Amino acid sequence: MQIAVYGKGGIGKSTVSANLSAALACCGKKVLQIGCDPKHDSTRLLHHGQKVETILEYLLNTPADEQRPEAVLMNGYNGVGCVEAGGPRPGMGCAGRGILTSFDFLNKFQVFSNYEHIVYDVLGDVVCGGFAVPVRRQYAEAVFLVTSGEAMAIYAANNILQGIRNLNQKERRIAGIIYNSRGIGDESTRVYAFAEAVGLPVCVRIPRSDRFARAEREAVTVVEQDLHSEEAQIFLNLAHQIEAGLELHEAKPLTEEQMEHFMRGEAPMTIGRTEERSTVSRTCEKTEEFPKEKVLPKKRALSDPFSRVPLFGCAFNGAVALAIHVKDAAVLAHAPKSCVWFSQNGFTAYARRGFYERGILYPAFIPQHFEATDLTMQDAVFGGVEHAREKALALAAKGVRTILAVTSCIPGMSGDDLTPLKEELKALGCEMYLIPTDGVAAGDYNEGMALCYKTLAREAIDRNVEPEKDSINLVYELTWSSATDQNYQIIKAMLDGLGIRVNCRFLCATSMEEIHGFLRAPYSVMARDDVLGEELKAIFEQKYGCRFLDGTFPKGFSETTRWVRQLGSLYEKESQAEALIAREKARYQERIQALKPNFQGKKCIIFLNRPGNEWLFEVVEDLGLEQLAVFVAGKEKENNAGWNHRFSAKWETDQKKLVQAIKELPVELILTSDRSALADVPNHVTVIDLMANERPGFLTGVEAAEAWKDLMGTKMEGRWKRDRILFEKYYT
């Protein structure tokens, strides 16, 4: 039989486990005791305190093809097999992961099959998946809870029941309570009352006795010290109960509120539900229930798809994808090889796409220095700080002056702390910025990017740089779009026309020198506007007193005209601004006149999933289109990345109205920023997806309309048509 002994740290689990193993061995059984505690002292009393090599120490120092189970298996009193799982150094690695690794090792060599009884001595509480292993279906068949009458011991016992219930909802796995008396006050009343409340028997009571202390000083069990003693007989009786067959029970923990009432002695000691009470240990005559829990309003769960934006990847991936835009910094990915491959494949995809489709290589997506620590499962147990240190020092030796260290899930679980490494590198003249995304623990792809943005905004800006009059910062450009470079060239051309240079692109194809010198520019402009953009802007304004232009990158002739005049006023370049506006106005009007014959008098419907889009209404009016209906289904101000509104009541209402309008009105053209709102559209109606046509600058509307014209005059064969052309060009 496989038996797990659980309880609060320091409650006497190891003493109980060792004496139980010794007693079972005295009954003529082959017994194995496994210590599931990094302290590796569970089996000490069975082998008289000899030094034992833990499984994890053995795995760390022994090649896989040389590993043997007998190297970690020691025979103790009466032939009891003794194994210690061990664990990483205190404060390093993940002990729970170590337990999982140890059990994998024992299973690999089928160690369990050689014994009739296996006793698991498990650390503290069911705190994580690793320490919960013994109560999973394929291991412990029976669980004993060791407790005294002390409050924390009973709290721990209830938490263990909660953990077991979570793992096995209705399965009967609990053998009962082992009451290890501390000899304090009326603890017996409390222990038996708790047993009654959770419907469990008290299998044995171990009295407070100096014999246990004397045995521990001699590094033996009381069973070995004096088999006929009263204390040894307790464990022999328990062994006989196990041999005769234990009655097992469901885990029925008290709720937090019920537990609080129980510990204050304010309620009768019953189970607190309508379930049956145990007949083994009754100390109370009344059958009243604990006060019922308050019914709280239901909140949306994280798993509710309507309560969050969709996931595009983990936070580690998002942080790496942004960090590689800092051209003169090295990115150190403290992560497994698989995570690193996923990230590299992601950010290089933009470079490959640009090369295959346009013959253009985007340097921003090819980092100069990208190193990875390639963590393994062994590092998950023992920590991988040394790998990070080795890689970072090698980069510093190459002359790298800045390292952006991004951590994944495994360092987050094992507790790797790279702060001392940061200080060590600083002494070598290399600055390290830590971005502890810890994979999915920190959120999704967008949240990883946010952490990278905010870390560099808070830590990498030099307050002591000298300001330069005719410069500006561009903040929060879209880094994962192939259109970003084209949009930048449009903005840069307008700035060049005003005699204003770009000081820093935060963070897009930039450098640490430009980031350090962010405050050289007297003004900054946001490329786009969403919640993260607002948070980033607030950091610059509140921490550094930065000043921002109104709005974001302008779109359309009127909005861009106002934006250029604002720049002219702020930078004292009014004459240059007016000259630029005049030149662009002539170009705009010339191209509008050329387009008018294709659009004038055509009837259109506009469906937008967000407010704004002044440029659209401007160009529709200038082209002479007749607006039959306009729907703006978005909220007044978006509160996320533009996803949740799609499922709002207003969106659904407007979408229904749109479908009805298409049926009833003589529409020829539909302009929409949300193609998903459309289902069946008549063949004579052209649908224009606006998302692909939002270039900044004076000519946003004109360039969009020129694309509409081409689309209206094309007999579409399917979107695969362009793919076929590209395939034939590059692959055949």
- Catalytic residue set: 8, 13, 39, 125
Residue among 521, 508, 567, 513 nearest 547 (CA): 521
Find out whether 508 and 477 touch, Cβ atoms under 8 Å. yes
DSSP 594-613: HHHHHHTT-EEEEEESSS--
CA pair distance 120, 14, nearest whole angstrom: 9
| Amino acid at site 118 | I
State phi, psi for 176 to the nearest 5 degrees.
Answer: 145, -165
Enumerate residues 6+ apart whose C-beta is below 8 A from 365. 324, 347, 348, 350, 351
CA pair distance 368, 331, nearest whole angstrom: 9
Whether the ω angle into residue 507 lies within 30 degrees of 0, i.e. cis, is: yes
CA pair distance 481, 490, nearest whole angstrom: 15
Handedness of CA 334, 338, 343, 348 (dihedral sign): positive
Residue among 554, 536, 656 nearest 612 (CA): 554
CA pair distance 638, 532, nearest whole angstrom: 12
Residue among 411, 433, 410 nearest 421 (CA): 433
Using DSSP's 3-state secondary structure scheme, residue 348 falls into helix
Using DSSP's 3-state secondary structure scheme, residue 120 falls into strand
CB atoms within 10 A of CB 28: 9
CA pair distance 587, 265, nearest whole angstrom: 85
CA pair distance 7, 12, nearest whole angstrom: 8
CA pair distance 333, 324, nearest whole angstrom: 11
